[in-house]
Amino acid sequence: MQSILNIVLKKVKNMTLISDIDIPILAPKARLKWDPVRQKHLLLFPEGLLVLNQTAHEVITMCDGKHKVITIVNSLGDKYKTHVDADIRELLSKLVEKRLLLLLE
Amino acid sequence: MNTPLLYPYSLLCELTYRCPLQCPYCSNPVNFECYTEEELDTQEWQRILDEAAALGVVQVHFSGGEPLLRKDILQIIRKARDLNLYSNLSTGGTLLTEKLVHELRSAGLDSLQISIQDADSLNSEYISGRLRSFEKKKKAALLAKNAGFPLTINVVLHKQNLDNIEAIIRLAEDLGAERLELANTQFNGWALKNRNLLLPTRPQVEQAVSVVESARLRLKGKMEILYIVPDYFEQYPKPCLYGWGRVFMTITSDGIVLPCQAAREISELKFENARDKSLEKIWFESESFCIFRGTDWMPEPCRSCPQKVIDFGGCRCQAFLLTGNAAVTDPVCSLSPHHTLIEQALKETETRSQEMWVYRNEEESKRLTIKSLFDNNK
């Protein structure tokens, strides 16, 4: 995941704590878009965007207000047979901190 | 570094140079008055948005002057929405009404930015040069929130308001902003004319940084604070627009296509007009976009500097306005042979002051344009 415009994700010093049972949902101000020119998935938001790799796109697609964090982590972990747990949690935390994802109770 | 061909992500549309405010640091060109009668019409803007989307633009930012002065603003926004572009509108806020804010929302506008000049009406209106504007701005922020817009408050920082930064942050918080953009004045255009009254002192800047840092901690997860540093106080220049002709494109109210909103003042470059050529041709082939793209154009001390892929040699507009040559290292860089220009300006701001700034308005624009023509031909 690579950040492009003037909002650059800062190193998260105190990682936002997200728990396994949180249910993330994409904030209304953020929008996923397939970019036909670059053949990439993008996440668009006020004054910025993120170019998403495939995993990041799949994670965000699952943030639909129906899946718990643990479900997202397990489902992608199973699919890729690699240890993506920490990466997914870090991505979710960053997006929560930027309020691009909201957490449902 | 061989830069691969890149498509622009972001387009700034300066829909008009007309504005009810007169902020003395406006980024519009000093001679904007020469171009106010040549505004692009609705169909031209819609065609430009078509071309931009096909060229890879995904974000469009409507600005001005005051973009809400355009009677066709809703038609232009609807077009952006139809093209699935993410749209922002940056306004002074004084013209926003309840009816208009809902129309903007249903036209498909994604996000609103409202400018604030300071934390109270007296200072704010002294800077904006518009009486009774402060209350209107606060009301506009409320309207934007109630209509469901994600709200950014933006504030240009300078000598006259830096000491109030804490109150400014509180105000943005009270107005319900999700983002606060604190941008120190960039000394191009009108701001350069008024530099003696706008350039802060070092203690002011240092104090502001510490206030911002603690506010960020306090507001983490609630309001994001973007702080754009004052480059006169930095060791290296800013990575201006992440490189010339790399990510951004600006189109002025009369159709001129620029790599940066301040670039029009680089009078040694000829910029193309979107009325005459396609954006694709201009982005990839025009001399004005190709000339400073990548790093091959760079002179020393940039050429052999490892920073060159980080800061891209800094701001071309600033280099031109301060030295008369857009192709030299940005003078704010401590390694620039022209860096004494910056040191002098910093010394002057401690000791000297203009009596009153020049407000950005049509009369002053005419006066300064004529004066500059006269001075250059003497």
d(CA B233, CA A18): 39
What burial class does residue B228 get, using C-beta atoms within 10 Å of its C-beta: 0-12 exposed, 13-18 middle, 19+ buried?
Answer: middle
CB count in 10 Å sphere of residue B212: 18
Per-residue pLDDT, A8:
33
Strand-pairing partners, residue B10, are B59, B248
Nearest Cβ partner for A49 among B54, B59, B179: B59
Percent of chain B with pLDDT over 90: 89
Q: And the tokens for A78?
A: 């199973």
- For chain B, the average pLDDT equals 94
Burial B162-199 (b: 16+ CB within 10 A, else e): bebbeebbebbbebebbbbbbbbbbbbbbbbbbbbbbb
* Mutate: best of B12, B57, B58, B223, partner A, most A CBs <10 A: B58
pLDDT tier at A97 (50, 70, 90 boundaries)?
confident
B17 pLDDT more than 60: yes
Residue B353 is predicted with a pLDDT of 66
Are residues B242 and A29, on separate chains, in Cβ contact within 8 Å? no
CA gap B64, A62 in Å, rounded: 39
Predicted ipTM?
0.85
Q: What is the DSSP pairing of strand B59-63 with strand B10-14?
A: parallel
Of the partner residues B84, B113, B178, the one whose CB lies closest to the CB of residue A33: B84
Chains A and B form CB pairs within 8 A to the count of 68
pLDDT tens digits for range B196-252 = 899 999 999 999 999 999 999 999 878 999 998 899 999 999 888 889 999 999 999
- Exposed / middle / buried, residue A103 (Cβ in 10 Å: 0-12, 13-18, 19+): middle
Beta carbons of A28 and B84 less than 8 Å apart: no
Q: Assign 3-class secondary structure to B240-309.
A: HHHCCCCCEEEECCCCEEECCCCHHHCCCCCCCECCCCCHHHHHHHCHHHHCCCCCCCCCCCCCCCCCHH
Specify the higher pLDDT residue, A85 or B272. B272
Q: What is residue A99's predicted lDDT score, i.e. its pLDDT?
A: 87
Q: Note whether A49 contacts B226, CB cutoff 8 Å.
A: no
Question: How far apart are the CA of B355 and the nearest CA of chain A, in angstroms?
Answer: 36
Out of B55, B59, B221, closest to residue A97 by CB = B221
- pLDDT at residue B34, as a whole number: 94
- Chain A within 8 Å of B50 (Cβ-Cβ)? no
Q: What is the pLDDT of residues B88-123, one digit of tens each?
A: 999 999 999 999 999 999 999 999 999 999 999 999
pLDDT tens readout for residues B44-61: 999 999 999 999 999 999
**In the predicted model, is pLDDT for residue A1 greater than 50?**
no
B316: nearest Cα among B235, B376, B367, B246:
B246
Interface check for A55 against chain B (CB to CB < 8 A): the answer is no
Q: Do residue A46 and residue B56 have CB atoms under 8 angstroms apart?
A: no
- Which residues of chain B are within 8 Å of residue A6 when distances are taken between CB atoms? 226
Helix (H, G, I), strand (E, B) or coil at B177: coil
Residues of A in contact with B226 (CB under 8 A): 6-7, 47
The predicted structure's pLDDT at residue A5: 37
- Helix axis angle, A69-80 relative to A54-62, nearest 10°? 150
Whether A44 sits inside 8 A of B226 (CB atoms) is: no
- Asked if pLDDT for residue B3 goes beyond 50, the answer is no
- Torsion-angle region of B132 (φ positive above 0: left; ψ -120 to 50: alpha; else: beta): left
Nearest residue of B to residue A96, measured between CA atoms: B221
Mean pLDDT of all residues in chain A?
A: 82
Are the beta carbons of B58 and A44 separated by less than 8 Å? yes
**CA closest to A33 among chain B residues:** B84
pLDDT for the residue numbered B222: 86
**pTM, to two decimals:** 0.92
The structure tokens listed for B189 are: 């255009």
| B160-182 pLDDT per residue, tens | 999 999 999 999 999 999 999 99
Q: Yes or no: say if B73 and B60 are a contact pair by the CB < 8 Å rule.
A: no
Using the Cβ of B203 and the Cβ atoms of chain A, whether some distance falls under 8 Å is answered with: no
Identify the closest residue of chain B to A48 by CA–CA distance. B59
**A74: helix, strand or coil:** helix
Q: Whole-angstrom Cα distance, residue A83 to residue A41?
A: 23
**Interchain CB contact of B10 with A (< 8 Å):** yes
Q: What is the DSSP string of B42-110?
A: HHHHHHHHHHHHHTT--EEEEESS-GGG-TTHHHHHHHHHHTT-EEEEEE-STT--HHHHHHHHHHT--
Binary contact (A29, B111; C-beta < 8 A): yes
CB-based contact B56 A35, cutoff 8 Å: yes
For residue A96, give both structure tokens.
Answer: 């929560």
Query: Are residues A33 and B54, on separate chains, in Cβ contact within 8 Å?
Result: no
Q: Is the pLDDT of residue A13 over 70?
A: no
Rounded distance between C-alpha atoms, residue B270 and residue B264, angstroms:
9
| 8 A C-beta contact, residue B70 and residue B23 | no
Structure tokens at B59: 């974000």
Contact B274, B312 (CB under 8 A): no
Rounded to 10 degrees, what is the CA torsion of B31, B66, B7, B240? 60
3-class SS at B225?
strand
> What is the strand order of the sheet B10-14 is part of?
B224-228, B179-184, B151-157, B111-115, B86-91, B59-63, B10-14, B248-251, B257-258
Residue A102 near chain B (CB below 8 Å): no
Q: SS3 helix, strand, coil % of chain A, rounded to 5?
A: 30, 25, 40
Q: What pLDDT is recorded for position A16? A: 56
Q: Are B110 and B152 in contact (CB under 8 A)?
A: no
* Range B124-139 average pLDDT: 97
Q: Is the pLDDT of residue A94 over 80?
A: yes
Residue pLDDT, tens place only, A41-89: 999 999 889 999 998 999 999 999 999 999 999 888 888 776 678 888 8
